[in-house]
């Protein structure tokens, strides 16, 4: 299997190359030159295998330049049962006879980003060895909350790597901040930025594109790299759980053989739902891909109108990991819808850059609508959904997953559909504790309570365990206290790695 750029498909690279490189130098994203297909025998063979063994069988189809031993080693380190609160790693829960929930938050940081960020560092480390990379890799991350912590946990103590996370001092929840400022590991740096997420993101981009600084880093033995969701090494692990969930649903008789089903994904950067699309291309009998957004509903509008228009107001919501106006991974879907025409993708991406907007042709839009349906929920819908699902089923949804549930209900109403559905649950409700409790019982439930008291309240109301990693935050020492002005982010990195005249 070779990989090509969505903006120039004449270059062909292997997977180790593109995992190290992250993004193509023409600005495009790397995609496989063909999606491997699997059949029912291949699937049936995996029924009695655990998540790790399933992962290995799927990854060998995509990472053909890695040996089976290399893949095996990466997977065993990533999905170590000791790091996950469920032996199934990604369990499927049957909520009703026609709604199953795929819980992707049993990893160390309680959000679905762990599914990819536990594996990516090992794929990268192995790629460094395969390619004989001499320098250490320095991962730079700007985070709005979930990615930073998941990347820290994934890269901590991985030999030959260092990770620097910038988070907005006024932009993450108390729990998220504590998760990061108490981070352990010998190669981790957590720095607050006075500003919002955009400031942190802009600062990181500036460091990546500053040639002189990159050259200085290289001279000192470091190469900068990124762990954000445009890296193929983050996308490919996400395909695994859709295949695994399908096998589990068949095994539990939640689905009949060959019965098609809908998948609902709470969406931000379009990575998770794109992985479901690839699983469908591989042969998983998914009918509709339902794209759930919050009030930042640019994707809902895009799917219904064929016009992607980012000239709009940005809202802060209670599902912050979906607060996004430019969904980078959409470019990979466009590449498929535009029949792998790299010139046409470049044209649309150029329109987006210069006008903040692009438009599909009638035929292209038709293809999009055949596969996808988009809907959204505002904060009030989200809280109401948390409340009603809790009262009906004694099951607690986090705000992101609640957006998905609301949109699933809207979809069924709109199309009169009764297909079975798989709802992807992207975070533990304990991670967004305050809004979850407000949803369930109103403001009174949280008045004058600190985060740790709130965790206890939810545990006793729902009869579910508090994730150990969140419970322990209370007693952990805050070790990362450095804060920087947004103008000084590069200087901060220079200081850490002794670059540019210091010493």
Ligand X SMILES: *Cc1c(COP(=O)(O)O)cnc(C)c1O
How near is the Cβ of 293 to ligand X at its closest, in Å?
9
* Beta carbons of 97 and 249 less than 8 angstroms apart: no
- By the rule CB under 6 A, 271 interacts with ligand X: yes
CA distance 47 to 67: 24
How near is the Cβ of 205 to ligand X at its closest, in Å?
18
Residue window 139-178: x/- pattern of binding to ligand X, with contact defined by CB under 6 A: -------x--------------------------------
- By the rule CB under 6 A, 277 interacts with ligand X: no
111-130: which residues touch ligand X (CB under 6 A)?
111-113
183, 272, 300, 382: residue in contact with ligand X (rule CB under 6 A): 272
54, 400, 420, 480: residue in contact with ligand X (rule CB under 6 A): 400
CA distance 238 to 55: 10
58 vs 427 by CB, closer to ligand X: 427
21, 118, 267, 293: residue in contact with ligand X (rule CB under 6 A): 267
- Report the 10 Å Cβ neighbour count for 379: 18
First-to-last alpha carbon distance for the chain, in angstroms, is 47
C-alpha closest to that of 272 among 247, 292, 254, 294 = 292
Tokens 């496989």 locate to 32
Residue window 224-253: x/- pattern of binding to ligand X, with contact defined by CB under 6 A: -----x------------------------
User: What DSSP designation does 92 have?
Assistant: E
Listed ranges 263-271, 339-347, 357-365, 387-395: which one lies at the site for ligand X (CB under 6 A): 263-271
- By the rule CB under 6 A, 201 interacts with ligand X: no
CA distance 362 to 300: 17
Listed ranges 105-113, 130-138, 250-258, 292-300: which one lies at the site for ligand X (CB under 6 A): 105-113
Pairing state of beta strands 3-5 and 30-32?
Answer: antiparallel
> What three-state secondary structure class fits 432?
helix
CA distance 107 to 146: 12
13 vs 289 by CB, closer to ligand X: 289
How near is the Cβ of 271 to ligand X at its closest, in Å?
3
146 vs 262 by CB, closer to ligand X: 146
> Which residue in the list 11, 12, 83, 113 is annotated as catalytic?
113
CA distance 66 to 194: 42
Please give the full DSSP string across 201-242, using - where no structure is assigned.
HHHHHHHHH-HHHHHHHHHTTEEEEE-STTSHHHHHHHHHHH
> What three-state secondary structure class fits 109?
coil
224 vs 322 by CB, closer to ligand X: 322
Q: What angle do CA 93, 97, 103 make, to 5 degrees?
A: 15
Listed ranges 110-118, 185-193, 349-357, 445-453: which one lies at the site for ligand X (CB under 6 A): 110-118
Listed ranges 49-57, 108-116, 344-352, 464-472: which one lies at the site for ligand X (CB under 6 A): 108-116
How near is the Cβ of 363 to ligand X at its closest, in Å?
26
C-alpha closest to that of 331 among 345, 351, 314 = 345
121 vs 237 by CB, closer to ligand X: 237
How near is the Cβ of 135 to ligand X at its closest, in Å?
29
How near is the Cβ of 264 to ligand X at its closest, in Å?
12
The alpha carbon of 307 is separated from its chain's Cα centroid by a whole number of angstroms, namely 24
- By the rule CB under 6 A, 383 interacts with ligand X: no
How near is the Cβ of 406 to ligand X at its closest, in Å?
14
How near is the Cβ of 401 to ligand X at its closest, in Å?
8
128 vs 141 by CB, closer to ligand X: 141
CA distance 75 to 66: 12
State the number of CA atoms in the 13 A half-sphere of 7 facing the CB: 13
- By the rule CB under 6 A, 322 interacts with ligand X: yes
CA distance 480 to 86: 30
100, 187, 201, 426: residue in contact with ligand X (rule CB under 6 A): 426
Please give the full DSSP string across 333-362, using - where no structure is assigned.
HHHHHTTT-HHHHHHHHHHHHHHSEEE--H
How near is the Cβ of 144 to ligand X at its closest, in Å?
9
9 vs 85 by CB, closer to ligand X: 85
- Which residue(s) pair with 178 in the sheet? none
- By the rule CB under 6 A, 74 interacts with ligand X: no
6, 181, 269, 382: residue in contact with ligand X (rule CB under 6 A): 269
19 vs 273 by CB, closer to ligand X: 273
User: What DSSP designation does 71 have?
Assistant: H
- Report the 10 Å Cβ neighbour count for 87: 10
Listed ranges 50-58, 264-272, 304-312, 384-392: which one lies at the site for ligand X (CB under 6 A): 264-272
User: Residue count at the site for ligand X (CB under 6 A)?
Assistant: 17
- Report the 10 Å Cβ neighbour count for 197: 22
User: What DSSP designation does 475 have?
Assistant: G
Residues 6+ apart with CB under 8 A from 107: 83, 84, 114, 115, 118, 150, 153
Active site residue 113: yes
- By the rule CB under 6 A, 427 interacts with ligand X: yes
Listed ranges 19-27, 50-58, 269-277, 355-363: which one lies at the site for ligand X (CB under 6 A): 269-277
What is the binding site for ligand X (CB under 6 A)? 111-113, 146, 229, 266-272, 321-322, 400, 426-427
Q: Which residues are catalytic?
A: 113
């Amino acid at each position: 299997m070779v990989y090509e750029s969505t903006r120039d498909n004449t270059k062909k690279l292997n997977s180790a190359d593109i995992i190290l490189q992250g993004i193509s130098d023409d600005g495009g994203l790397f995609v496989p030159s063909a999606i491997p297909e699997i059949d029912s025998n291949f699937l049936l063979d995996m029924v009695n295998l655990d998540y790790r063994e399933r992962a290995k069988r799927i990854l060998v189809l995509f990472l053909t330049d890695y040996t089976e031993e290399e893949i095996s080693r990466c997977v065993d380190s990533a999905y170590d049962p000791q790091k996950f609160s469920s032996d199934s790693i990604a369990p499927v829960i049957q909520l009703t006879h026609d709604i199953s929930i795929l819980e992707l938050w049993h990893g160390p940081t309680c959000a679905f980003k762990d599914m990819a960020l536990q594996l990516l560092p090992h794929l990268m480390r192995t790629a460094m060895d395969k390619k004989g990379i001499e320098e250490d890799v320095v991962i730079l991350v700007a985070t709005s909350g979930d990615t930073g912590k998941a990347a820290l946990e994934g890269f901590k103590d991985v030999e030959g790597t260092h990770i620097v996370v910038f988070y907005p001092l006024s932009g993450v929840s108390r729990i998220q901040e504590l998760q990061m400022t108490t981070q352990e590991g010998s190669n981790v740096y957590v720095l607050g930025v006075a500003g919002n997420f955009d400031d942190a993101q802009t600062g990181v981009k500036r460091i990546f594109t500053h040639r002189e600084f990159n050259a200085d880093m290289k001279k000192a033995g470091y190469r900068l790299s990124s762990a954000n969701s445009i890296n193929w090494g983050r996308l490919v692990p996400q395909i695994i759980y859709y295949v695994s969930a399908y096998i589990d649903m068949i095994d539990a008789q939640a689905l009949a053989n060959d019965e098609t089903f809908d998948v609902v994904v709470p969406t931000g950067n379009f990575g998770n739902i794109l992985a479901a699309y690839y699983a469908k291309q591989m042969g998983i009998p998914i009918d509709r891909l339902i794209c759930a957004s919050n009030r930042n509903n640019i994707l809902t509008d895009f799917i219904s109108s064929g016009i992607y228009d980012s000239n709009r107001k940005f809202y802060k919501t209670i599902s912050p990991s979906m607060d996004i106006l430019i969904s980078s991974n959409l470019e990979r879907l466009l590449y498929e819808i535009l029949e792998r025409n790299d010139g046409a993708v470049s044209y649309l991406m150029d329109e987006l850059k210069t006008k903040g907007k692009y438009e599909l042709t009638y035929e292209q839009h038709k293809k999009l609508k055949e596969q996808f349906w988009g809907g959204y929920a505002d904060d009030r819908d989200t809280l109401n959904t948390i409340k009603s699902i809790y009262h009906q089923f004694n099951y607690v949804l986090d705000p992101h997953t609640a957006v998905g549930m609301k949109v699933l209900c809207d979809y069924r109403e709109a199309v009169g559909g009764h297909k079975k559905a798989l709802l992807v649950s992207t975070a533990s409700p304990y991670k967004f504790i305050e809004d979850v409790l407000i949803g369930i019982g109103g403001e009174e439930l949280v008045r004058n309570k600190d985060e740790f008291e709130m965790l206890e309240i939810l545990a006793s109301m729902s009869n579910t365990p508090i994730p150990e990693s969140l419970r322990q935050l209370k007693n952990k020492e805050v070790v990362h206290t450095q804060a920087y002005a947004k103008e000084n982010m590069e200087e901060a990195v220079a200081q850490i790695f002794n670059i540019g005249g210091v010493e």
